[in-house]
Structure 1
Amino acid sequence: MRCCCVFGLAAAWFCLRDVSGEDFQADLSDLSAVRLLHITDSHISLSDEVPPRSSRMFGAYARSRNRDTKSPTTPQQEFSRLVGLAQDLHVDLVVLGGDIFNFPSNQTVTWVLEQLRTAGKSFVFTSGNHDWMLEGQQGASRYDAARISELESTFRPLYEQSLSNGGSCYMSLGHWNRPGIGILYGCTVIKGLLLLFIDNSNYQVDADQLEFARVQLESVSKDTPIVILLHIPLMLPGVTLPAKELCGHAQWGAATDTLWQLEGRPRWPAGNLQSTLDFRDLLQAKAAPNGPVVAVLSGHTHEDASVLLRPPAETAETCEPWGRSWTVRSEGGREKLKEGGGALQYTTSSATEGAYRVLTIY
């Protein structure tokens, strides 16, 4: 399927399409193309390490079934297979979109890093809610109380070996000394593409994350496309999922927190931070063809989906020329792409069943 949009002779041209077969093979000869392998929601746990707090999640994903072959498998087998595909798929970067782990585990982090080392591909990691959450913390001060401490300890080796650990993309920040850099948000440049990750694994985007994104989006050159990596997809026009599946859902909060007792944790707070809603507005305002954001990659829902960042009518009415043209191609996702022109938010299904997405930008 192909859906293209041309906004005037002087405006940027932007195209979205699913590819396979001959189209896919043709992309491999284009040395300027940037290819990202998106793997999310692997839910790996090598053992039931901290029973009973780890037992529910360990049992939920101890076994799986490959969605293509229907053969019995495990999250570990599928993750090893998927990162092994990186060479065959000629990708430039492995993008790990959160919930790679079932719960925080030094043992499993070491194992995942060994799989990535063996594959020989650079990677970027952002966390999901299950990565840092170990169930049974009813006495915690808030629902995400363990998040920062786990990311700064258990998951530090992932951030240290990630391609987002330093690099020229941070120069635009000047003398930035805020503590979340490299863990709650970060960036890398690969073959001219700027990849930003924003950790919204607690369903929110805080003021520092918003400011980081704003500085990056406003300082980027007009020859640089931007891909945003999130764990939880943004609430956007046309999306009908419940509050527990989306970031920025108007009904998100304590009143719609249906899992707090099952997970043994405090309830979510009353509602969204204003910075979360402002972050969504920022990405919509900067979405191609009007701006540099050519795609958002997300997971969390365990389903393939894509939705326009901005409604077609709004994009057409406000379109102004922006830099050069880009084409974005998706392979692996099973959803039907939305008709119309403009940047999409892609949600990739769970890697426990072997799902993945390759995004090509050129």
Structure 2
Amino acid sequence: MPSNAILLFGAVARSGTSFIYTSGNHDWLLEGQQGASSYDAARIPELASTLRPFYEQSLSNGGSCYMSLGDWSRPGAGILYGCTMVKGLLLLFIDNSNYQVDADQLEFTRLQVESASKDTPIVILLHIPLMLPGATLAAKELCGHAQWGAATDTLWQVEGRPRWPAGNLQSTLDFRDLLQAKAAPTGPVVAVLSGHTHEDAVVSLSLPADACEPSGRSWTVRSEGGREKTQEVSGALQYTTHTAAEGAYRVLTIY
């Protein structure tokens, strides 16, 4: 794994492209670790060592958006969650590559969303898409799926690791609820970008129109590059995009 990470990091560095990095489950999963303490035991050690160069060069490293947190010294800052401002847009990454969002990640997100100016649109970057109304994928493809847990873990023997725990953390479900409550047009969250499934998909993040009233500035999000037709929306959507390894991409324009 270290040699693969070095090769990839070198290619990204040579491209001169600015990026924000958040890990996927196959970035840190070490197969054949049946004796590990948990299914995600390798996650933080790998993020803090093998994958650290990506975080050090990420736009989220030392961004001005951290100032709103005050004296924040949590160990997960910068690798399990982070933020940056790009041309007036607040980008937050939350590492849910183990299918869960912990209490620190939830608190970080809440502080960022609640302290942001009403004129600042927010985009959330995740690896695993959230379970939302309209999402029909299996538990292994979604974060916050009601059936996620040991009973639906069909790959633990194939991957040689401990089973998933019994079910979701409450903080995972609260995170999803927070994003829905703060989604445009009632809040500043205009989009969630995710991957993991290797498929293009779009589902609504916003609450039903009859359950909310617009407040603050209105934003329009234009999506191009997915397999869906180009579209423009004023509510918030979750966009899942096919793998870049096969040439897939998505371009969002927010105005």
Cα shift at 1:155: 0.5
Match of 2:215 among 298, 317, 321: 321
Q: Secondary structure at the match of 1:125?
A: coil
Q: Report whether the alignment pairs 1:360 with 2:253.
A: yes
Match of 1:350 among 223, 243, 251: 243
What's the TM-score, normalizing by structure 1?
Answer: 0.68
Structure 2 segments unaligned to the other structure (5+ residues): none
Name the CA distance, whole Å, in 1 between partners of 2:231 and 2:136: 15
Structure 1 segments unaligned to the other structure (5+ residues): 1-104
Name the CA distance, whole Å, in 2 between partners of 1:227 and 1:341: 14
Cα shift at 1:114: 2.1
Q: Secondary structure at the match of 2:220?
A: strand
Any conservation in 2 of the 1:304–1:348 contact (CA below 8 Å)?
A: yes
Match of 1:174 among 70, 83, 87: 70
Cα shift at 1:109: 1.9
2:109 maps to 213
Any conservation in 1 of the 2:21–2:58 contact (CA below 8 Å)?
A: yes
2:99 maps to 203
Cα shift at 1:271: 0.1
Cα shift at 1:154: 0.3
Q: Secondary structure at the match of 1:124?
A: coil
1:86 maps to none
Name the CA distance, whole Å, in 1 between partners of 2:5 and 2:181: 37
Name the CA distance, whole Å, in 1 between partners of 2:155 and 2:230: 31
RMSD: 1.5
> For each residue in 1:273-304, what CA deviation from the matched residue of structure 2 results, as whole angstroms up to 9, or x when unmatched?
00000000000000011110000000011100
Cα shift at 1:110: 2.0
The percentage of aligned residue pairs carrying the same residue is: 78
Q: What amino acid is the match of 2:215?
A: P
Name the CA distance, whole Å, in 2 between partners of 1:154 and 1:117: 16
Name the CA distance, whole Å, in 1 between partners of 2:229 and 2:98: 29
1:142 maps to 38
Higher relative contact order (CA 8 A, sep 6+): 1
Task: Select the structure of larger CA radius of gyration.
Answer: 1
Cα shift at 1:337: 7.5
Within 5 Å, which residues of 2 pair with 1:5-20? Answer: none
Q: What amino acid is the match of 1:356?
A: Y
Q: What amino acid is the match of 1:327?
A: T
What's the TM-score, normalizing by structure 2?
Answer: 0.96
Any conservation in 1 of the 2:223–2:230 contact (CA below 8 Å)?
A: no
1:224 maps to 120
